[in-house]
Amino acid sequence: MNDSPGWAVPGPSSSDGERPGAPDGRDGGEGSTQPSTGGQKWSAEQPPPGEWSSPGTPQAPPQRQPQPGAGWGSYGGSQGPQGAQSGQYGYPGGPGQWGKPPAAKPGVIPLRPLDLGEILDGAVATMRSHWRTVLPITLVVATVVQVISVLVQKYALSGLPVASDPKASLQDALDTLGGTMVVLLANGFVQLIGTIVAAAMLTMIFSRAVLGHGSTIGEAWREARPQLLRLLGLTLLLALGGVVILFALILPGIALSSIGLALLGGLAAIPLIVWLGIRFGLASPALMLEKSGVITSLRRSSRLVQGSWWRIFGITALTGLITAFVSAVIIWPLTAVGLAIGFSDGGVASLENGTATTGWAPLILSAIGAVIAQTITMPIQSGVTVLLYVDQRIRREALDLELARAAGLENYGPDATAPPTGG
């Protein structure tokens, strides 16, 4: 089954049909040696004419070869669409390498396989050059989420009975725990919806930034809206899968009333959940940009990540560390100031009864820090995910050729070395 459709660049819808000469999107995969000659059914949502040009006649271009003196290593691996070989691209510092060749750069990244620095730089460059679109989206979403969170903590959580009273009965403790869980789940669901909306719109903005095109907030919303329910379903499915794995591995310990066995099962679940999280980590941009379904996007992510798990894990983990550090630098000082204000108002008693953390001052200052942090880090995380997806498709499916045509670059292909353009 062919589950590798072409890159559906966001834009107004046009006819849904066979696109002459378009690559069939097959991964090339291990063992495949035949270039595509077309026949792929493209997404119904295509960009307007002139923004995504047709490859022309259904003819496979010649095999891409390293240019003399260009500095590219042997491609190796099997052929993907367009007749380009997938997998092994050269890199600076290898045997006989003289650095990277000139590459077309219509947008925020060069159209060739990317390294870590280029992926991070592309995410930051998009946020910097398209800040009028990116920052309002993340600022509004973060503000709405944090306002709801503050109200929940102030009026819901602080109103629950405190189970630390030594005279409290078991029923009181259970009521407190149940009420807390309900409130936290409701608050978490609101945050999930906000994060999904922001991530969907940012994905569309980054996809256009790769081609050097700008986006308005309205355009990003119109392009993302048809896929929002599917993205929600994908997110919930992945979360449910993690919960099922965790529960399945700790269940033997619970059944045998063995805390040690349950703890061991929980520890064993962590690497498995991380492995699956990375393997399906590119499902979100695949779902949004290829206009695919939930299951198809999961298969696409699995195929794109195959053979590159550790690389994607390293880039994802490093991005998480960077954004966590930035968030901590912003949030912790404001939180400390809020706690100091709460303590000064209530003294030691405020720490005992919890009012030092549920007063207006600590809640508002912590929320302000969270809004600032999320406004900055959310675009970086979304951008890295989208650019990892683009990078993997360039490596495996020669997507750079299709992106060059979509960006309107001429004389760009297997036998042409396009000079760097734009920034």
Q: Which of 17-31, 183-197, 268-282 has the lowest mean pLDDT?
A: 17-31
Query: Hey, is 99 helix, strand or coil?
Result: coil
Q: Is the pLDDT of residue 96 over 50?
A: no
Q: Report if pTM > 0.85.
A: no
**Contact partners, residue 132, CB within 8 Å, separation at least 6:** none
- Residue bearing the bigger pLDDT, 371 or 257: 371
Query: Hey, is 413 helix, strand or coil?
Result: strand
Q: Are the beta carbons of 382 and 289 closer than 8 angstroms?
A: no
Query: Hey, is 41 helix, strand or coil?
Result: strand
Q: What is the rounded average pLDDT for all residues in the chain?
A: 75
Tokens encoding 332: 């912790």
Q: Within 280-359, where are the H helices?
A: 283-289, 294-305, 309-346, 348-353, 355-358
Secondary structure letter of residue 166 according to DSSP:
T
Kindly calculate the radius of gyration of the chain based on its CA atoms and give it in whole angstroms: 25
* C-alpha closest to that of 141 among 187, 216, 223, 196: 196
pLDDT confidence of residue 181: 75
Q: How far apart are CA 274 and CA 278, in angstroms?
A: 6
Q: How far apart are CA 324 and CA 329, in angstroms?
A: 9
Q: How far apart are CA 324 and CA 187, in angstroms?
A: 21
User: What are residue 169's phi and psi, to 5 degrees?
Assistant: -80, 170
pLDDT confidence of residue 82: 35
Virtual torsion, Cα 195, 201, 206, 211, nearest 10 deg: 170
pLDDT confidence of residue 57: 36
Tokens encoding 279: 């393997």
**Contact partners, residue 168, CB within 8 Å, separation at least 6:** 161, 162
Q: What is the number of other CB atoms lying within 10 angstroms of the CB of residue 401?
A: 23
Residue type, 106: P
- Residue bearing the bigger pLDDT, 122 or 336: 122
Q: What is the pLDDT of residues 294-330, one digit of tens each?
A: 999 999 999 999 999 999 999 999 999 999 999 999 9
Query: Hey, is 79 helix, strand or coil?
Result: strand
Q: What is the pLDDT of residues 351-409, one digit of tens each?
A: 555 566 677 888 889 999 999 999 999 999 999 999 999 999 999 998 998 898 888 88
Q: Is the pLDDT of residue 35 over 50?
A: no
Q: What is the number of other CB atoms lying within 10 angstroms of the CB of residue 130?
A: 22
Q: Is the pLDDT of residue 350 over 50?
A: yes
Q: What is the pLDDT of residues 320-348, one digit of tens each?
A: 999 999 999 999 999 888 888 866 655 55
Note the residue count of the chain.
Answer: 423
pLDDT confidence of residue 175: 62
Q: Is the pLDDT of residue 20 over 70?
A: no
**CB-count exposure of residue 204 (10 Å: 0-12, 13-18, 19+):** buried
Q: What is the mean pLDDT of residues 46-69?
A: 37
Q: Which residues pair with 416 in a beta bridge?
A: 413
**Domain spans, the chain:** 21-102, 121-395
Q: Are the beta carbons of 2 and 22 closer than 8 angstroms?
A: no
